Structure formats: structure tokens, C-alpha cells
Amino acid sequence: MSNQIIAGILAFLLWIFPNCSFLKDQFQQRTFSWSVTANQLMNAVKGNDIADLEAMMCQNIKENTDNLPGKIGELLDAIDGEIAGFTWNNFGGFDANHGDGKILRQKGLEIRFTTAKSESYLFIITWEYYNSFQPDEMGIRAISLWNETITPTQIALIIATEGVGFWHD
């Protein structure tokens, strides 16, 4: 059965049972697109769009990072040159299910990119893509920027103060 048909059935069932966390979880997993997420993030980076990147951050980062727009600006300023191309891959993950219908899911996202100045970079991101405990916490839980041109070196990090189920350095 195709993913679209299953998503349609889940949407109908959610209409009937709007508070069923199992259905919400299954629907989110079927409709969340890593490709769209990677493209949206890289479009914000290419456009130097601090507000878009800030909107992608989880509530914890928004509340606990001093001068978040400034930190995002520093992250973007660390990239030398215009982005020429990128590839992405998701990895690992963390799930929490306490048996009471409350679920959260996080996954890693790696985005490798090069610039017109032949620099090679890597974003390593922990992305919370489902949270029925605290929906405001969905989004980027951690993001680090690495320069991989010669020796991999972390040059920027923005991370939540809690609730990062796994972290990959």
C-alpha cells in the first residue's frame, strides 16, 4: 500500500480520533520529509536568513540561548563563500515512549556542502520531528558546523540545554 494512501487513511482516522497519539505519531512519520527539511535549512543558509533558521529551532534553544540571532549569524559568517552544492543523509535516532501515549522522536541529519571557494563543510543536526509531550520542542535540538576542508574542525555549535536524546560529534 502506498505511503500516500496510508497517510490519507491516517488523516481520516485522526479526524475521527483527534487525540490518539498513536495515530498522530504514525501520520507525522509518514508525512515528515527529510528532503524538504534539508532543502529548507540549506535555502535559509544560502539566503543568510537568520529568522528562518531561528524559526526551525526548538523552544528550549529559543529560550536558553543568549542572543540566538547573533549566534546564528556567527554560524553563517563562519561559512567562507557561496554554497555550490550539498548532499544530506539522516542517521541514528532517539525515541521515547513512556507507555502513556506520549512519544517523542529525534533523528540525526548530516548535510555536507561545498562553497564556490572549494571549502567543504558539514552540518550535524539533531532534529526532533515528533513530540506529543511538548510540541513546541520539535525542530532543531542541536546544530554544529564543521569545516572539513583539511582536518575536520567544529567551528560552531548551538544546542538545547536539555532533551537532546543523542548527540553525534
Length of the chain: 169
97-146 pLDDT, tens digit per residue, is 766 767 788 889 999 999 999 999 999 999 988 887 888 888 999 999 99
57 and 68 in contact (C-beta within 8 Å)?
Answer: yes
Question: What radius of gyration do the chain's Cα atoms show?
Answer: 17
* Structural domains in the chain plus CATH codes: 1-31 (no CATH), 33-159 (3.10.450.50)
Beta bridge partners of 111: 88, 123
- pTM (global) more than 0.85: no
Q: What is the pLDDT of residue 64?
A: 93
The confidence band for 164, taking pLDDT boundaries of 50, 70 and 90, is low
129 and 45 in contact (C-beta within 8 Å)?
Answer: no
13-28 pLDDT, tens digit per residue, is 767 777 676 666 666 6
Q: Which contiguous run of DSSP H or E holds residue 162? A: none
Model confidence at 169: pLDDT above 50: no
